[in-house]
Chains A and B, each alone.
Chain A
């Protein structure tokens, strides 16, 4: 049974998976971009600037999703001391910080023509900035603390404590007055985004998710190589 989980085997499977996912990513991204930039209608109020949403919203979703995953894994790490989970969350973080940055930058670009400002210190935007800082701290903790036991502990603590920020981001637009508009899509209510605009949004989210999986697999293999170079047979 444990034969299936030996690092060498995982490395080989990962390498094959990467090629398949890379192909899927390019395919889905092309369809998504054509839908988002050309086929979808413009908004009645915002005209063409609504197209920034098809990058902004998926990026924000993915960045929140990845941080929640890292936090959940870190809790398991803290309780069960499973080292493999650390490798997984460590490999997830780079695409998470990338998408947080994309969400902030595209939000800024979107804010200028619609709201009339690049930046506002409202609750949603500020809490997203806090998320960016948390990601940075999380990634840095692996670099700063050379001792593995120590870096594992500190990084999981950052992720667990940082998880409190996730509900704050999500509900900031409901709890306080913000410049940012409230959520358009919820699980219980009808979407406030017209279906013709929902199609590119869903496809772009799939494309970004595939991209994060791709980066994750690459990072994970890098970690496996590092372990091999240290001459360790197991984690």
Chain B
């Protein structure tokens, strides 16, 4: 159907693209540690060695009834429903920092169960709805 030149170009392009996709895949795979924005409490437990001078970002859900606010700091527990980690933080709290919603805390690990955060970010989910609908869902 196509001429010889056209066929050759199609072949050439598919070959280049295949190689390129493979390269990008391998690069991203090897950089996975840097591409992920945060790690879960379970992954903290599984870490081979903890670098106490390095900042870690830990993400998960704020455990229900775990937020403990006092005058100059807030303490809470991040859970991924398998493991948990306690976080202590002092500073500005984002608006959407709520129990049972996502959070990412960045700071230094004191040990595998305790993180002293210097920054916390709220991570909301993909659900959007009016307040009335949320109420109706709750009643169910």
Query: Which A residues lie at the B interface, using CB under 8 A?
Result: 41-46, 50, 53, 75, 78-80, 113-117, 120-123, 160-161, 164, 168, 176-179, 181-184, 192-194, 196-197
Contact = CB atoms under 8 A, between A and B. Distances in A.
B10 to A, nearest CB: 6
Contacts of B94: 114-116
The 7 closest A-B pairs by CB, nearest first: A116-B94, A41-B130, A44-B134, A122-B37, A194-B129, A184-B126, A44-B131
B123 interface: yes
B9 interface: yes
Contacts of B10: 79
B130 A164 contact: no
Contacts of B32: 176
A116 B91 CA distance: 11
11 contacts: A41-B130, A41-B132, A43-B131, A114-B94, A116-B94, A117-B121, A168-B28, A176-B35, A179-B104, A179-B123, A194-B130
Interface of B: 6, 9-10, 13, 17, 20-21, 24, 28, 32, 35-40, 59, 92-98, 101, 104, 119-134
Contacts, number: 111
B33 to A, nearest CB: 10
Main secondary structure of the interface of B (DSSP, over half): mixed
A44 B20 contact: no
Given A192-B126, A193-B128, A197-B129, A179 B37 contact: yes
A35 to B, nearest CB: 14
A75 B13 CA distance: 8
Contacts of A192: 125-128
Contacts of A122: 37
Main secondary structure of the interface of A (DSSP, over half): loop
B133 A44 contact: yes
A123 B37 contact: yes
Given A44-B133, A79-B10, A120 B121 contact: yes
Nearest to A182: B126
Given A115-B122, A116-B97, 11 more contacts: A45-B124, A114-B94, A114-B95, A176-B37, A177-B37, A179-B38, A179-B104, A182-B125, A184-B128, A193-B129, A194-B133
Nearest to A184: B126
A231 B89 CA distance: 69
Contact of A160 (B13, B28, B104): B13
A115 B97 CA distance: 8
Given A114-B94, A115-B121, A116-B120, A177 B130 contact: no
Given A114-B95, A115-B94, A44 B130 contact: yes
Nearest to A127: B35
A79 B120 CA distance: 50
Nearest to B135: A44
A116 B103 CA distance: 11
A182 B93 CA distance: 23
Contacts of A179: 37-38, 104, 121, 123
A183 B134 CA distance: 20
B127 to A, nearest CB: 5
Nearest to B17: A160
